[in-house]
Amino acid sequence: MFKSLFFNALLICLATLAYSQNADKYYLLKAAHLYDSEKNTFLANQEVFIKNNLVVQVGSGLTVPSETEVLDFGNATIVPGLIDAHSHILLQQKLDEPLAVDAMLMSSEARVLRAAKFAREYLESGFTTIRDVGNSGQYLDREVQRAVNNGYIIGPRMQVSGPIIGSMDGQIDGIPFADFDRISQQENTMVSGVEEAKKAVREHIARGVDVIKILAIGNRLVLSLDEMKAIVETAHSERMTVTAHCDRDWAAQNAIEAGVDGIEHAYGFKKPTLEKIVSKGIYIVPTYGSTGTVRAYYELNNLPYTDDDLQNSVASWNKWIRELKEAGVTIVAGSDAYIDLNIPRGDYAKQTIWGYADAGLSAEDVLQTATSNAADALGMKDQIGTIKENAFADIVVFEGNMKTDFKKSLYEVKMVMKNGSVELMK
- Mean per-residue pLDDT over the chain, rounded: 93
In a domain, 190, yes or no: yes
Please indicate, yes or no, if residue 384 is contained in any of the structural domains: no
Distance CA 181, CA 169 (A): 9
Shared domain for 57 and 160, answered yes or no, is no
Whether 166 and 249 share a structural domain: yes
Structural domain count of the chain: 2
Instruction: Determine the pLDDT at residue 180.
Output: 81
Cα 116 from Cα 129, distance rounded (Å): 14
- Does some domain include residue 266? yes
Examine the domain organization and report whether 296 and 227 are in the same domain: yes
Residue 344: inside a domain, yes or no? Answer: yes
CA atoms within 13 A on the CB side of 238: 20
- Sign, CA torsion 171/174/175/178: positive
176-182 contacts, C-beta under 8 A, 24 or more apart:
179/100, 179/104
Q: Are residues 211 and 129 in the same domain?
A: yes
- Rounded-to-integer distance, Cα 321 and Cα 266, Å: 10
Both 273 and 304 in a single domain? Answer: yes
Instruction: Please tell me the distance from the alpha carbon of residue 276 to that of residue 270, in angstroms, as a whole number.
Output: 10
Sign of CA dihedral 303, 309, 311, 314: negative
**129 in the same domain as 30:** no
The predicted-structure confidence for 299-319, as pLDDT tens digits, reads as follows 999 999 999 999 999 999 999
Range of the domain at 188: 82-377
Q: One-letter amino acid identity for 234? A: T
| 89 and 55 in a common domain | no
Domain match, 29 and 98 both: no
pLDDT(85) > 70:
yes
CA distance 264 to 246: 6
- Evaluate whether residue 359 is within a structural domain: yes
Identify whether 382 is part of a domain: no
Same domain, 333 and 254: yes
383 part of a folded domain = no
Do 263 and 120 sit in the same domain of this protein?
yes
User: Phi/psi zone of residue 107: left (φ > 0), alpha (ψ -120 to 50 degrees), beta?
Assistant: beta
Q: Count Cβ atoms below 10 Å from residue 389 Cβ, excluding itself.
A: 12
CA angle 422, 423, 426 (to 5 degrees): 85
Higher pLDDT pick, 96 / 326: 326
320, 380, 378: which is closest to 87 by C-alpha?
Answer: 378
- Does one domain contain both 66 and 109? no
Inter-residue contact 322 to 269 (CB < 8 Å):
no
Strand order in the sheet with 157-160: 82-87, 127-132, 157-160
- What percent of the chain has a predicted confidence (pLDDT) above 70? 95
φ, ψ for residue 280, nearest 5 deg: -95, 0
Confidence (pTM): 0.93
Residue 26, domain CATH: 2.30.40.10
User: Cα separations (Å) of 68 from 33, 49, 50?
Assistant: 21, 9, 9
CATH label of the domain that carries residue 354: 3.20.20.140
193 and 230 in a single domain? The answer is yes
**11-59: per-residue pLDDT in tens?**
555 545 544 557 999 999 999 999 999 999 999 999 999 999 999 999 9
Q: Render pLDDT for 142-195 as a digit per residue (tens, 0 to 9).
A: 999 999 999 999 999 999 999 999 988 777 777 777 788 888 888 899 999 999
Separation CA 86–CA 91 (nearest Å): 12
User: Is there a domain that residue 401 lies in?
Assistant: yes
